[in-house]
């Protein structure tokens, strides 16, 4: 069951989401070749906790870190560790913060040093997919118009849309209803309501849409063909006359 947030709850969401946004800006200023993914996680943990918030991925269903740091062929849920960031890598950093009982959630894909035009185009198109999805979005719009917009733009560019993972509602829980797929038929699905808060998060692969799950660690999702993937996410408030992107 999805929830419609009250004004007070939306105020709390705005605060958690502002912390997420600032943390990602801080990571963007500091991330560079030679760091490990664990170093990135340390930046995230320090920044979020310094804001009086909790990095709510830590301990979520046993997840062992404060961020997901996913390099190149890792689509999402890369566990921070000793992998060193190299010149030419693309690195998605996906974080959540909880304060006053409410979560914010966003992801950016960062470029490390000199990145090939091929990979830069993937990152750019993935961000564009998000903005196509929020174009015209408001109360009354069918949920699957979001996925339709993402899929249309990604596939027009020759990319694969990950189906195994989706966006989601968010609020008192990191993951709430409804599920927000990145593919779908225009006009289908429930009609969005003012006061819903959802995460729209295109996960776009340069090659096949198919992914593998690492059963050894239970988290890391990689592209089935080993080609790179990008991820871009924001928490979005649905309003009568449009949206408010809470993590921008």
Q: Which residues bind ligand MF3 (CB under 6 A)?
A: 57, 60-61, 63, 68, 77, 94, 96, 105, 199, 201, 233
Closer to ligand MF3 by CB, 57 or 89: give it. Answer: 57
Closer to ligand MF3 by CB, 73 or 98: give it. Answer: 98
Q: How far is the CB of 164 from ligand MF3 (least distance, A)?
A: 13
Interatomic CA distance for residues 29 and 177, integer angstroms: 34
Interatomic CA distance for residues 75 and 47, integer angstroms: 24
Q: How far is the CB of 67 from Co ion (least distance, A)?
A: 9
Q: How far is the CB of 89 from Co ion (least distance, A)?
A: 20
In the bound complex, which residue of the shown chain has the CB atom lying closest to Co ion? 199
Q: How far is the CB of 192 from Co ion (least distance, A)?
A: 17
Q: Binding residues for Co ion, per CB under 5 A?
A: 94, 105, 107, 199, 233
Say which entry of ligand MF3, Co ion, none residue 241 contacts (CB below 5 to 8 A, set by partner kind). none
Closer to ligand MF3 by CB, 94 or 114: give it. Answer: 94
Contact between 85 and 32 under an 8 Å Cβ cutoff? The reply is: yes
Closer to Co ion by CB, 86 or 106: give it. Answer: 106
The three-state secondary structure class of 47 is helix
Contact between 51 and 97 under an 8 Å Cβ cutoff? The reply is: yes
Tokens of 25: 């800006």
Nearest Cα neighbor of 90 from 61, 63, 110, 65 is 110
Interatomic CA distance for residues 16 and 54, integer angstroms: 9
Q: How far is the CB of 217 from ligand MF3 (least distance, A)?
A: 11
Say which entry of ligand MF3, Co ion, none residue 89 contacts (CB below 5 to 8 A, set by partner kind). none
Give the dihedral sign, CA 166/201/171/8: negative
Q: What is the DSSP letter of 82?
A: S
Tokens of 166: 């989706």
Say which entry of Co ion, ligand MF3, none residue 145 contacts (CB below 5 to 8 A, set by partner kind). none
Say which entry of Co ion, ligand MF3, none residue 57 contacts (CB below 5 to 8 A, set by partner kind). ligand MF3
Q: What is the DSSP letter of 60?
A: G
Q: Write down the residue that tokens 């946004």 correspond to.
A: 21
Contact between 60 and 77 under an 8 Å Cβ cutoff? The reply is: no
CA 116 to chain centre: 23
Q: How far is the CB of 51 from ligand MF3 (least distance, A)?
A: 17
Closer to ligand MF3 by CB, 66 or 72: give it. Answer: 66
């Amino acid at each position: 069951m999805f929830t419609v947030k009250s004004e007070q709850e939306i105020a709390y969401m705005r605060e958690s989401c502002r912390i997420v946004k600032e943390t990602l800006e801080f990571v963007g200023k500091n991330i560079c070749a030679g760091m490990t993914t664990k170093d990135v996680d340390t930046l995230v943990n320090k920044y979020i906790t310094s804001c009086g918030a909790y990095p709510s991925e830590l301990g979520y269903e046993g997840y062992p870190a404060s961020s997901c740091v996913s390099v190149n062929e890792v689509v999402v849920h890369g566990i921070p560790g000793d992998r060193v960031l190299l010149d030419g890598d693309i690195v998605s950093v996906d974080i959540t913060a909880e304060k006053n009982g409410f979560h914010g959630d966003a992801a950016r894909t960062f470029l490390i040093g000199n990145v090939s035009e091929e990979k830069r185009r993937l990152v750019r198109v993935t961000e564009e997919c998000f903005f196509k999805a929020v174009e015209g979005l408001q109360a009354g719009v069918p949920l699957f118009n979001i996925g339709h917009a993402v899929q249309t733009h990604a596939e027009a560019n020759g990319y694969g849309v990950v189906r195994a993972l989706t966006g989601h509602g968010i609020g008192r829980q990191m993951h709430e209803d409804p599920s927000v797929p990145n593919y779908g038929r225009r006009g289908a699905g429930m009609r969005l309501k003012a006061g819903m808060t959802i995460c729209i998060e295109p996960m776009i692969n340069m090659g096949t849409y198919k992914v593998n799950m690492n059963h050894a660690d239970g988290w890391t999702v990689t592209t089935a063909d080993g080609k790179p993937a990008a991820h871009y996410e924001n928490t979005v408030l649905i309003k009568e006359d449009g949206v408010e992107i809470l993590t921008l």
